[in-house]
Amino acid sequence: MKSWYLIQAKPKSEKSAKENLERQGYVTYLPLILGRTKRRGKTIKAIQPMFPRYLFIHLSDQTDDWGPIRSTLGVSNLVRFGITPAKVPEALINSLKQNENNLGIYELPSKILSHGDKLLIVEGPFEGYEATLFSQKSDDRVIVLLKIAEKFVKVKLEKSLIEPLN
């Protein structure tokens, strides 16, 4: 009987670890999301691992050879609790896979915003400013209130340029 286990990859080496493990015949799973990253000072959307530095491997503790895993290029360790490898529930893996789109990317739920929510502007000329949601013009446009020089100013922005503040 096979189970899912957790592997820790070296920094920014999840894809390399996945490819090298699969080349050796192991079954792996690396959930991906469409996230934000900074490149050359600009915030862009990019496909990235859902769990940075981690991926899953499907193994049998009876028949599979676990020896080569740790020495695989891109792999740092097999995650353990004491001496026992960390098992991941099958239901979790199935749930992650069911919520992927046809490109194999996990679809994060869209942000539900309401009037008065505190926001952070993550890109553009107002990057880093905190704002308050005033209204939503459409699915992809919002009007926010920015406090500039002790006065509130309404600014129209694309929804992709803001993130809710906790």
Could you tell me the pTM of the whole model? Answer: 0.70
Model pLDDT for residues 52-81, shown as the tens digit of each residue? 999 999 999 888 888 899 899 999 999 999
Domains of the chain, residue spans? 2-106, 118-164
pLDDT at 114: 80
Per-residue pLDDT averaged across 16-27, rounded? 96
Using CA atoms, how far apart are residues 16 and 45, in angstroms rounded to an integer?
21
Domain 2-106 has CATH 3.30.160.100: no
DSSP string, 95-155: HHHHTB-TTSEE-PPPP---TT-EEEE-SSTTTT-EEEEEEE-SSSEEEEEEEETTEEEEE
E strand or H helix at 64: none
pLDDT at 10: 96
**Better pLDDT: 50 or 39:** 50
Per-residue pLDDT averaged across 30-51, rounded? 83
Model pLDDT for residues 90-135, shown as the tens digit of each residue? 999 999 999 888 888 887 666 677 888 898 888 778 888 889 988 8
Amino acid 161 reads: L
**The domains spanning 2-106 and 118-164 adopt the same CATH topology:** no
What's domain 118-164's architecture? Roll (2.30)
pLDDT at 48: 92
Using CA atoms, how far apart are residues 39 and 25, in angstroms rounded to an integer?
35
Rg of the chain over CA atoms, in angstroms?
21
Nearest to 13 by CA among 53, 69, 46: 53
Phi and psi at residue 90, in whole multiples of 5°? -55, -35
